[in-house]
Amino acid sequence: MSNQSSNRFAVVTGANKGIGFELCRQLASKGVIVILTARDEKRGSEALEILKGFGLSQNVVFHQLDVMDPTSIASLVDFIENTYGKLDILVNNAGITGVSVEGDVLVVKEIIEADEVSIPGTEPQEAHITANGKLVQTYEWAEQCLQTNYYGTKRMIEAVIPLLRLSDSPRIVNVSSYMGTLKFQSNEWAKQVLSNAEKLTEDKVDDVLNKFLQDFKENSLKVNGWPEYLPAYRLSKSAINAYTRILAKKYPNFCINCVCPGYVKTDINGNTGSLTVEEGAESLLKLALLPDGVATPPSGLFRKFSWEELKYVTNGFSSENIVSEHGEKAPNIVYKGLLENDKWNASTSPLGLLLANSLFAVVTGANKGIGFELCRQLASKGVIVILTARDEKRGSEALQILKGFGHSQNVVFHQLDVMDPISIASLVDFIENTYGKLDILVNNAGVTGVSVEGDVLFVKEIIEADEVLIHDDTKPQEAHITANGKLVQTYEWAEQCLQTNYYGTKRMIEAFIPLLRLSDSPRIVNVSSFMGKLKFQSNEWAKQVLSNAEKLTEDKVDDVLNKFLQDFKENSLKVNGWPEYVPAYRLSKSAINAYTRILAKKYPNYSINCVCPGYVKTDINGNTGSLTVEEGAESLLKLALLPDGEAKPPSGLFFFRQNLSPF
């Protein structure tokens, strides 16, 4: 049995064509091992051969599956258990409409679009049929529709739960439809039963389906208020939505959601849809690959995504917290307080109106100096900024100052101590629940690890001795100190400097990677210093380790920092060749630079860079700098807002101000 814990294994039902087939392709291209399933063995095998043509032969296998047949399901389960030993992702995509079309297939388009235009909150309208066609609906087809769409989904989930339990991050994605949202369920009793989330049970779902079939058999659908068009299909999707909520409570450690991929051009609607299968599959892919992190991934929710026109995120759950781009209410939508796509956005935050195409940024150490100014500049560009500071009072005061600039809608404050994992987790939860993603992380918080006694110009002389050599190939020279001052350096302060500057940056990035993954253009900007350049690192062993880009690892960075602290504790910094002035600060910035290079390799789709903003007049240098905070922040702003385009944005690089510079 092959059970490689590093691999992820997925099953997609109904995958020989359409959205299911395309999802298999997208998952496989992400490195997931995919079991493509189909009821018809010949068609499934043909689909597999097509995927092999994409160069995905190592990542896709075919297995026959009929979701109506418990024996067929059991055979698939045995295959997965004996071959892979676990399952990470189940996508229940198999489904039918329960009707046939006679005449013009555009009758389907008119029915679907009548519902679709009602999604943003208006009452459902009766479809005005002009196409010369009609839907043929029989009891047998209705029963088959419920058995395939709902009970087939249920059989699959019940059968593979034991294998999903063996996954570190089990995901179930149930393909639903906005036609199954409860606003389109015209039978009031059914709507009431299925909307009562607290009292929902599988038996109650069965009661609704059985009542529907009974009314169908007795030819009393209309008199009992069931939908006129596609009633079985609508109800099967309402049942899937309800079952998803039940499962999410039953399995709190799983991530189980239902999703409408939008009106996609497939056989099920006579290829009348407006979206491509690629666009439809992207919605499923996003839920199938929801990242793990500090915050729990969403579960028990419904999403509707669309990527082309002004469409909407909808569900059958209750919330009044949705606001459109134009401020119109669209009820019955929730995703932990936020649901979004490229045009619509929901929020319970006091920010009120938010656009889903907004960028969301976190800036650490932002109550003053460069961090504060960067918040102002980002907000002025329309970015929603979370200003953070360790001291709650100072952070709140900074927020009030920014509001005076007219940025009250674009800036919020949240307390953050980068030394405290609990504080970081609190910020992650806040952003996830309020915005649902993060686009930009600027790690600006930092300390020098020293204090100054006497003339503060002492600091200026040290910094300028290095600064004049930034673009010079000559070796660093000893600073000629004339000012009457000195630096006080203790082991405790040095340790705090490394913990704040380097490990604080590392903690923040590790915590926010899951939310950054949800961004279309994730950016990480690590504020560094020219004093961290390797030419100013006088310990030759440390310089050698940190300069070897090919062999750099986080463990090797840790080794360098631990050796430095050991030498500091043993009072052997000088004998071992460490820098004389602000050694912890220099080393923390060298470590940040090295970590930036490591991250850029680990996350090739991110733009991750480090930047020295220059010698800026701030508290950290006793306000001795030659640049203003506005000039300093501009360098960070440029990297934070690097545009997307045909060329991949730079990553894994060091910038001195706005110019590329060697490490």
Q: What is the pLDDT of residues 48-91, one digit of tens each?
A: 988 776 667 789 999 999 999 999 999 999 999 999 999 999 99
pLDDT in tens, 546-598: 988 888 899 999 999 999 899 988 998 889 888 877 888 889 999 999 999 99
For residue 56, the model assigns a pLDDT of 74
**Domain at 9-317: CATH architecture:** 3-Layer(aba) Sandwich (3.40)
Q: Where are the beta strands (DSSP E) in 78-192?
A: 89-92, 100-103, 133-136, 171-175
Residues 6+ apart with CB under 8 A from 547: 534, 663
HEC readout, 225-283:
CCCCCCHHHHHHHHHHHHHHHHHHHHCCCCEEEEEECCCECCHHHCCCCCECHHHHHHH
Instruction: Tell me: pLDDT of 352 over 80.
Output: no
For residue 624, the model assigns a pLDDT of 73
pLDDT in tens, 13-24: 999 988 999 899
Domain map (residue ranges) of the chain: 9-317, 360-661
What's this model's pTM, rounded to 2 decimal places?
A: 0.49
Give CA torsion, residues 43, 46, 47, 51, to 10 deg. Answer: 170
For residue 415, the model assigns a pLDDT of 95
pLDDT in tens, 518-556: 998 899 999 998 887 888 888 889 988 998 888 889 999
Is residue 176 within 8 Å of residue 237, measured between CB atoms?
yes
Catalytic residue among 229, 233, 585, 615: 585
Burial class from Cβ neighbours inside 10 Å (0-12, 13-18, 19+) for residue 576 reads middle
Mean pLDDT of 294-313: 47
Q: pLDDT-based confidence at 126, cuts 50/70/90?
A: low
Report the topology of domain 360-661: Rossmann fold (3.40.50)
Fold: same for 9-317 and 360-661: yes
Poorest-pLDDT segment among 273-287, 325-339, 381-395:
325-339
Mean pLDDT of 369-396: 90
Alpha carbon separation from 440 to 339, 375, 383, 639 (Å, rounded) = 19, 12, 9, 10
**Annotation says 585 is catalytic:** yes
Q: pLDDT-based confidence at 165, cuts 50/70/90?
A: very high
Alpha carbon separation from 116 to 412, 429, 472 (Å, rounded) = 35, 33, 64
Instruction: Tell me: pLDDT of 349 over 60.
Output: no
Can you say how many angstroms the Cα of residue 138 is from the centroid of all Cα atoms in its chain?
43
Q: Which residue has the tokens 């679009």?
A: 113
**Going by DSSP bridges, is the β-strand pair 451-454/485-488 parallel, antiparallel, or unpaired?**
antiparallel
pLDDT in tens, 328-346: 322 222 222 233 332 223 3
More confident residue, 281 or 343: 281
For residue 315, the model assigns a pLDDT of 32
